Amino acid sequence: MAQAKKPVKRTYQAVLDWQDESRRAFGKMLLNWRRRNGWTQYTACEWGTEAEFEVISYGNLSVIEQGKAGELRQKAFFQLEELNRRLEEKDWGPVKSQRLKDQLKDAEPLHGDDGKLWDAVDFWSCYIGYVPVPRAFQAAPAPTLTSKRAEEICQKWRQHVRRVIKEGGLDVTQALEQLVKGAPKEHQKRFSEVLAIDDYSSVELAQLWVDGEDFLPEQWIGAWEQKALGA
């Protein structure tokens, strides 16, 4: 007579490790999704503002993409569902910005490997590790940038930095000095110039791409923001 299999026991640490890995995979999926669509961290927020619907804030999105969000509220998954639905149905809403219209026109929604359009339950299930990341969003190639797109990205970074300084009531000179010091020494001079007004070229940005992940300046700005605002 065959013996019954004993249930597999998981240690508490193993559960925590699995949870952390699931959150990192989920964050990378969202990062790859917006990268494939040619979006910055701010595109969804701009869309939500113009079309008057709720989306995850760019600050929370950044933390989620890094796999550091912790327990997400239900609201976040329903916001992702609404974003995905609008992309699927090409329901742009009252968007006036031509630049934003161009970014939405060819953007793709997120489907599972079975072709199903993901809803709040699918996003939540992936976040807790019950559903794997769809194969199409497990890796992101380096983006191909035009000169105009490189200029837009740099402009968005400068706008974001100014917004953080204003919201945090920070001293402008000290805040910018701290931000620049957070970059490796070989990048500090050029990064300082870009924060002032001189955009990176598309070639320069390609060299600052972190394989399958992000642009280095975004990482520098994100780390600075968390420290500056005490996040």
d(CA 94, CA 89): 14
**What's the chain's average pLDDT?**
88
Predicted pLDDT of residue 60: 85
d(CA 150, CA 166): 25
Predicted pLDDT of residue 203: 86
d(CA 192, CA 10): 49
Local confidence band at 38 (pLDDT 50, 70, 90 cut-offs): confident
Q: Residue 8 above 60 pLDDT?
A: no
* 215 three-state secondary structure: strand
Cα–Cα distances (Å) from 59 to 21, 213, 229, in that order, read 21, 17, 11
Local confidence band at 2 (pLDDT 50, 70, 90 cut-offs): low
Q: Residue 215 above 60 pLDDT?
A: yes
Within 8 A by CB and 6+ apart from 138, the residues are: 28, 29, 32
Percent share of the chain, pLDDT over 90: 58
Predicted pLDDT of residue 150: 92
Predicted pLDDT of residue 19: 83
Contact criterion met (CB below 8 Å) for 32 and 137: yes
More confident residue, 188 or 62: 188
- What's the pLDDT tens digit per position in 48-65? 999 999 998 888 888 898
Give burial (CB, 10 Å; 0-12/13-18/19+) of 104.
buried
The mean per-residue pLDDT over the stretch 10-16 comes to: 74
The mean per-residue pLDDT over the stretch 210-222 comes to: 83
- What's the pLDDT tens digit per position in 149-178? 899 999 999 999 999 999 889 999 999 999
HSE on the CB side for 217, CA within 13 Å? 27
Q: Residue 6 above 70 pLDDT?
A: no
